[in-house]
Structure formats: C-alpha cells, structure tokens
C-alpha cells in the first residue's frame, strides 16, 4: 500500500488504543475523559428525541445546513455566549461542529500548510497534536506551569517563531488540569493582534469547576477578531452526541464551512436539536450543579486515596475543575512501562504522559488519571492497586 507522507509516523491516539483494553470490565479505567454514566440526561433525551421527531421529523431526518442547525446556533449566540462576556458576536460568527475535535481538524485544513508553525502548550491534548501532525505542521511549544503558560515565555516564543496559530486550553487544561493566569490570557489576545496569529481557545472543561474563581475567556480580551472559541458539549451533556459550537472571525468560519462541506456535510440534526433544546429549556445550570457535585466528590475520593496509597515521591496538584489529575514521577521512571504492568498485573488503566508531549524523550515520567468514569469503590481500589505497583517499582 502506498500511504501518504501525511500519515507516516503519526501514531494512533493513545486514548483510542486504550479503548481496546477497556472492553474488559475487570479493568478499572482512569484512562479516557469519559463522563460518568449517571450524568447523562437519559430519560430527558429519550422523551425529547421522540417529541422532536414527532414535531420536526421532516426537517431533522433530512439533510441540513453545513453551518449547523439554526436553533442551536441561535441558542449558542443568544444564551451561551453573553453570560461568558461575548456580546458582540453575530450569527455569522457561529457554526456547529461534530465535536470540537472536528473544529480542530477544520482549522488545521483552513490554516496550516505543510511546514507552517503551530504553537501549542507542552504538554497538551494529544488529539490536537495528532491533527497538527497530520496537517504536517511544524509544531513548537511553550512550557506549562502550575498557572498555565507564562506571558513572558509566550511572548518570546511567538516573537521568535511567528506561528500561524496558538492552540490553548486555558481552563482545566488537558492533561495538566492547570488554569492559565489572567496576565497570560491578556498577553495571548495581544499577541494575536500584534502578530496576526490565530488563537484557538479550546474550552471543553471550564463549566466543570469545583472550587476557585471563574476566569475570563481569552476571547473577552480579543481586539483583533483573531481568537476562535470552541465549546464542546461532550463533557457537559454527552460525548456520544458529538456536538460542539464555535465563535470566531466570520471569514474564518466561512472557510471552516467550506472545509466541513467536504468532510461530513453537516453534523447530525437530531443531536444538535437535542443540545439546542437542553439549552433553550434552561436545563444547563441545574445539570451542571448536579454533575459538578458528582465529579467534585469523585475527585476528592481519588485524591484521598492517592494521599493514602501513593508513594510520597509521586507528585500531583489538586485541580480546581476538569476531569484529570496529572502525576509526575521522579526523573528516570517510565510511566509507559509501568502502564504495561499496571494493566497486566493490577488491571488498572491510565494514560501515560509521553503522547501529550510534542517531542520524544520528555514527560516519560508523567501520567494522567481521570476520575469521572468509575464509581467510588473502584476509584479507591484502583488507586490502591496502582499505589502498590508504584511502591513495588520505586520503593
Ligand atoms: C482539550 C480537548 N479538546 C477537545 C476534545 C474533544 O472533544 P469533542 O468530544 O468535542 O470532540 C477533548 C476531549 O477529550 C479535549 O480534552
């Protein structure tokens, strides 16, 4: 087979590969960022889908517009964006997507030539790295700290490398859980204007906040219309629906629509209609209160268990939100090697940190734990077993 240059050397997503072992129910998974089953609005979705098809079946079961299902675009524009401080957008700034993953793919198609420089946080969401590699980008990175990237380092790297875009997850970053400080948020918007650099503000986790103060979106500091906000409904409503919205420059959004025409024509109408109803019926605030109470409890259980069973040399911070705890082992320890033993001997899965880094050889001593997908007793049991394994290996 004569494969493209593009696909050569791009590995399968470590998380997608993980789904293969997760078929075994004995495995306790701290792997993918799956929401808890009890957090899906199942009864509501069943009733509402039936009603939607009865009332609007002719439209919903037909082909729809590539830009997205209009009631969802309007709900996002009129109900979701203004409370976030975005009040000057119009419908031409908004499209819907088949998950924010598709947003990244469309933006890569629209913005990246082979060799174009793309700036990412180090470490960052491995799905984004995969997309930018497939687009044959020259990926450069800015280091993450406890409070996200630092304004001075960001400015320096942008000056030196002149990226076409900066991809950032400012709030409850995947994988580190870090929240970008306000200075860096302002600097990001300033650099976007100064260097005509697109900023992708990927924001799937900000609504999952358990403590601390709400942070302003980078988009609220945007003076040049160079910041595009991606809002996924995967973590808050359902990842299986594959629904996300974005708000960005109208010209850019138009190009994304053209790329989407040749990708999946449009996102599924019924799924978009469900999310639109969820927003328009005003269900989101109570739903977020509910899922945040579930997840903050799971986080506390995981952290308590880690305090009890993990060796002291395994370092981690308490995240204020999101779905992950990021662990750093002493230099020289290899979380990918430990992972093999963890799955085989302890029946516990997590995601080794290396695939979240853009360069080989760094981050091998890190790994990511998800706390939302397993019930309380399995979180405690899994952390106990993993802690035992770490102590067996590292003393
Ligand atoms: C930072 C980040 N962006 C995007 C995605 C993909 O989201 P979606 O399900 O909307 O494609 C994820 C999923 O884990 C994520 O963590």
What does the DSSP 8-state code read for residue 36?
A: P
Residue matched to tokens 């696909």? 7
Is residue 193 within 8 Å of 223, Cβ to Cβ? yes
**Residue 120 in contact with ligand 1 by CB distance below 6 A:** no
Q: What is the DSSP string of 112-180?
A: --TT-EEEEEES--HHHHHHHHHTT-EEEEEE-BTTBS-HHHHHHHHHHH--SEEEE--SS-TTT----
Q: Using CA atoms, how far apart are residues 276 and 282, in angstroms rounded to an integer?
A: 10
Mutating to test ligand 1, I would choose from 174, 236, 272, 351 the residue with most ligand atoms within 8 A of its C-beta, which is 174
**Residue 33 in contact with ligand 1 by CB distance below 6 A:** yes
CATH 3.90.1150.10 in the chain is located at 14-41+285-394
Kindly tell me if the per-residue pLDDT of 341 is higher than 70. yes
Q: What is the Å distance from ligand 1's center to 394 Cα?
A: 33
Written as six digits, the tokens of 97 are 């997507």
Q: What value does the mean pLDDT take over residues 292-315?
A: 98
Q: What is the pLDDT of residue 14?
A: 65
Q: What percent of the chain has pLDDT over 70?
A: 97
Q: What is the pLDDT of residue 23?
A: 75
Mutating to test ligand 1, I would choose from 31, 233, 234 the residue with most ligand atoms within 8 A of its C-beta, which is 234
Q: What is the pLDDT of residue 18?
A: 67
Q: What percent of the chain has pLDDT over 90?
A: 92
Mutating to test ligand 1, I would choose from 14, 34, 99, 169 the residue with most ligand atoms within 8 A of its C-beta, which is 99
Q: What value does the mean pLDDT take over residues 277-283?
A: 98
Q: What is the pLDDT of residue 5?
A: 87
CATH of domain 63-280: 3.40.640.10
Element at 255 (helix H, strand E): helix 250-261
Q: Using CA atoms, how far apart are residues 148 and 350, in angstroms rounded to an integer?
A: 23
Q: Using CA atoms, how far apart are residues 110 and 196, in angstroms rounded to an integer?
A: 15
Confidence of residue 19 (pLDDT cuts 50, 70, 90): low
Q: What value does the mean pLDDT take over residues 137-146?
A: 97
Confidence of residue 15 (pLDDT cuts 50, 70, 90): low
Is the pTM higher than 0.85? Answer: yes
Q: Which atom of ligand 1 is nearest to the CA of 124?
A: 1
Architecture of domain 14-41+285-394: Alpha-Beta Complex (3.90)
Q: What value does the mean pLDDT take over residues 293-308?
A: 98
Phi then psi dihedrals of residue 174, to 5 deg: -100, 115
Kindly tell me if the per-residue pLDDT of 17 is higher than 80. no
Kindly tell me if the per-residue pLDDT of 345 is higher than 90. yes
Is residue 171 within 8 Å of 180, Cβ to Cβ? yes
Confidence of residue 2 (pLDDT cuts 50, 70, 90): confident
32 burial level (CB within 10 Å; 0-12, 13-18, 19+):
buried
Q: Using CA atoms, how far apart are residues 41 and 53, in angstroms rounded to an integer?
A: 18
**Residue 32 in contact with ligand 1 by CB distance below 6 A:** no
CATH 3.40.640.10 in the chain is located at 63-280
- State whether residue 228 is helix, strand or coil: strand
Q: Using CA atoms, how far apart are residues 163 and 312, in angstroms rounded to an integer?
A: 40
Q: What is the Å distance from ligand 1's center to 111 Cα?
A: 19
Beta strands 198-202 and 28-29, pairing class:
unpaired
């Amino acid at each position: 087979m004569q494969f493209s240059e593009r696909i050569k050397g791009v590995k399968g997503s470590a998380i997608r590969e993980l789904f293969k072992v997760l078929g075994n129910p004995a495995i306790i998974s701290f792997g993918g960022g799956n929401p808890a089953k009890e957090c899906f609005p199942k009864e509501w979705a069943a009733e509402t889908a039936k009603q939607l098809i009865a009332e609007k079946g002719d439209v919903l079961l037909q082909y729809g517009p590539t830009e997205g299902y209009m009631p969802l675009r309007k709900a996002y524009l009129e109900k979701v964006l203004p409370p976030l401080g975005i009040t000057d957008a119009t419908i031409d700034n908004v499209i819907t997507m088949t998950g924010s993953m598709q947003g990244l793919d469309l933006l890569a198609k629209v913005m990246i030539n082979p060799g174009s420089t793309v700036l990412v946080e180090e470490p960052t969401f491995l799905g984004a790295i995969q997309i930018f590699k497939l687009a044959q980008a020259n990926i450069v990175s800015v280091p993450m700290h406890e409070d996200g990237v630092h304004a001075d380092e960001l400015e320096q790297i942008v000056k030196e490398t002149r990226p076409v875009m900066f991809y950032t997850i400012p709030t409850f970053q995947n994988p580190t859980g870090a929240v970008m400080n306000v200075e860096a948020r302002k600097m990001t918007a300033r650099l976007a204007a100064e260097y005509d650099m697109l900023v992708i503000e990927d924001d799937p986790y900000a609504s999952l906040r358990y403590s601390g103060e709400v942070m302003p979106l980078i988009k609220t500091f945007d003076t040049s219309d160079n910041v595009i906000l991606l809002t996924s409904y995967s973590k808050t409503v359902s990842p299986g629906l594959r629904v996300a919205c974005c708000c960005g420059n109208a010209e850019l959004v138009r190009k994304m629509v053209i790329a989407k025409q040749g990708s999946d024509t449009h996102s599924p109408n019924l799924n978009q209609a469900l999310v639109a109803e969820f927003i328009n019926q005003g269900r989101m605030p109570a739903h977020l209160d509910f899922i945040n109470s579930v997840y903050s409890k799971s986080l506390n259980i995981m952290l308590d268990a880690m305090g009890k069973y993990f060796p002291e040399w395994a370092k981690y911070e308490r995240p204020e939100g999101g779905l992950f705890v990021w662990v750093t082992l002493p230099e020289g320890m290899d979380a990918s090697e430990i992972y093999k033993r963890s799955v085989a001997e302890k029946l516990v899965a997590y995601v080794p940190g290396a695939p979240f880094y853009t360069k080989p050889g760094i981050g091998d001593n890190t790994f990511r734990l998800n706390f939302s997908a397993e019930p309380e007793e399995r979180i405690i049991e899994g952390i106990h077993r993993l802690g035992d394994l770490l102590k067996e290996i590292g003393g």
